[in-house]
Amino acid sequence: MAVTNGRPGSASPNGRSRTERLLTFLGSVRFAIFLLSFIAATSILGTLIKQQASSEEYVSLFSEQGYAVIHIFGLDDVFHSWWFLLALVLFSLNLILCTVNRFTLFLKNRSSEALPKESYLSTLALTFFCQGTRLEEVQRLCRGYRAVLTSQQGVILEKGRFAQYGVFIIHTSILLILLGGLLGLMLGFKGSLNLPVGESADTITLRGGGEAARRSLDFSIRCVDFRVSFYENGQPKEFLSSLEVVENKRVVLKKDVRVNDPLTHRGISFYQATYGTDAAFEFVIGGKSVLLNEGGTFRQGSLALMVVRYAPSVHDFGPGVQVAYLDNGEPKAIWFLRDVPRLREQTIAGIPVKLERLTQQQYTGLEVTSDPGLWFVWCGFFLLMAGLYINFGFYHRRVYLIPRDNGVMVAGTSRKNREGFKREFERLKERIDA
């Protein structure tokens, strides 16, 4: 046995180096089962403890000390904690080592086919001796079997050889899915966009990043129309947004996006998630009608203003909208009150501004995601299903034919589906006997 790291003294008594033993352990089925159990057990914790909630919520649920423990161990976000990711990385490593080991062994066995010893054949449960026949005749009756080895001492026949590849396909597919997941986690993003009808946007709000986490797109998206249809009982049946993708002032893509039918452009997908209404304020600024939401801004020449907030009742004078503006570079704020004529129309920077009306504006709630790992996952899914079909739908079996003085010795073996093979073998025996 070679000592791979070359240092003297690192070889263990049984002649294998530490590295070798470590690799064997890392690629073992036992380690795989340990890791899978660990992932399953911690996933259970992830469904019992509320995930990604606010610290206040945890304190009220588990007390101050309880939250401290939860936070230290990352139990408030199990599936993104370092130790969960580590377990997944170790699992991938295990899968790679285990699959490579098995595959090299598989190839080695393939390249050195030899008839098994008599002592092995006699241990097989499925054997019979048929008297007075020639080997060629028996071989002819083994329909669907292919000869792997033909020699004076005997013949090895096999069937369903490709079923052996199933396990390798399955393991590769799992690795592809994990790789796709990792790519999505590192390079992808998830966000949302509430888009009022008739408006367009080129930035979205990233999920879980608070108000500040925004991301700009390389194009803008416009909501041309939004429609909801209802069932008789008032429950929504379907909602859809007519969206347009605008690049360099040109519409490059149009699509009606509905639940279960997203729009994808440049690897970014828009999903119909929700809808709702926002308070909207129609102003007339210098004779021009402008519709603004809370937080909406308007700029024209020296005039720059922003709607700060809406209040349904301002000092019992009825509903009002607070507007901030720059007065010679100095920020100021004033209230526009709908029911007080003097405060409904005011002059900012010499331009008359009037609060025309308070209205509701419908918006479409879009989920926006980008996931560069998606195709890896899709390929992984396809291979996984194909591999399972091959692995469980078919099986590999062998029949050994050994010529004797007065007949042929027939022995059969299969690692999987032994019962099915037993029946097949019995039918074969009947055919040969007849």
Partner 1 sequence: MRDSPELLLYISLAFYLVASGLYLLSLRQSRVRNWAYYSLLGGFIAHAAAIGVRYSHAGYTPITNMHESLSFLVFCLAGFFIYLKTFYRASILGVIVSPVLSVLLIFAFSFSSEIRPLPPVLRSFWLPIHTIFAFVGNAVFLMGFLVSIIYLVAERHIKNKKSDSILPGLPPLEILDLMNYKCMSLGFPLLTVGIVTGSIWAEYAWGSYWNWDPKETWSLITWIVYAIMVHNRLAIGWRGRKTAYMMILGFTSILVTFVGVSFFVGGLHSYL
Interacting residue ranges for partner 1, rule: CB under 8 A: 29, 32-33, 36-37, 39-40, 43-44, 46-47, 51, 79, 181, 190, 231-233, 235-239, 258-262, 269, 271, 273, 367-369, 371, 374, 377-378, 381, 384-385, 388-389, 392, 415-417, 419
Closest approach of partner 1 to the CB of residue 239, in Å: 6
Q: Are 155 and 147 in contact (CB under 8 A)?
A: yes
C-alpha–C-alpha distance, residues 232 and 92, integer Å: 51
Nearer to partner 1 (CB atom), residue 284 or residue 388: 388
Nearer to partner 1 (CB atom), residue 46 or residue 154: 46
Identity of residue 272 = Q
Tell me phi and psi for residue 174, to 5 degrees: -65, -40
Nearer to partner 1 (CB atom), residue 102 or residue 309: 102
Closest approach of partner 1 to the CB of residue 224, in Å: 20
Q: What are the tokens at 297?
A: 């801004």
C-alpha–C-alpha distance, residues 402 and 183, integer Å: 54
Q: Which residues pair with 334 in a beta bridge?
A: 323
Nearer to partner 1 (CB atom), residue 317 or residue 381: 381
Nearer to partner 1 (CB atom), residue 46 or residue 160: 46
Q: What are the tokens at 380?
A: 């992984």
Nearer to partner 1 (CB atom), residue 154 or residue 262: 262
Closest approach of partner 1 to the CB of residue 141, in Å: 25
Output DSSP code: residue 76: G
Nearer to partner 1 (CB atom), residue 219 or residue 325: 219
C-alpha–C-alpha distance, residues 238 and 257, integer Å: 11
Closest approach of partner 1 to the CB of residue 165, in Å: 15
Give the DSSP H or E segment for 143. Answer: none
Q: What are the tokens at 327?
A: 């007065």
Distances 390 to 58, 148, 204, 384, 420 between C-alpha atoms, Å: 47, 21, 44, 10, 16
Closest approach of partner 1 to the CB of residue 208, in Å: 13
Q: Are 306 and 296 in contact (CB under 8 A)?
A: yes
Which of 354, 351, 297 has its CA nearest to residue 327?
A: 351
Nearer to partner 1 (CB atom), residue 196 or residue 262: 262
Question: Cβ neighbours of residue 136 under 8 Å, at least 6 residues apart?
Answer: none
Closest approach of partner 1 to the CB of residue 114, in Å: 24
Closest approach of partner 1 to the CB of residue 57, in Å: 15
Closest approach of partner 1 to the CB of residue 122, in Å: 21
C-alpha–C-alpha distance, residues 206 and 186, integer Å: 14
Nearer to partner 1 (CB atom), residue 73 or residue 129: 73
Closest approach of partner 1 to the CB of residue 417, in Å: 8
C-alpha–C-alpha distance, residues 44 and 397, integer Å: 40
Q: What are the tokens at 106?
A: 């598989």
Nearer to partner 1 (CB atom), residue 32 or residue 284: 32
Query: For the range 90-94, what are the long-range contacts, defined as Cβ-Cβ under 8 Å and sequence gap of 24 or more?
Result: 90/26, 90/35, 91/32, 91/35, 91/36, 91/39, 91/178, 92/175, 92/178, 92/179, 93/26, 94/26, 94/27, 94/28, 94/31, 94/32, 94/35
Closest approach of partner 1 to the CB of residue 241, in Å: 13
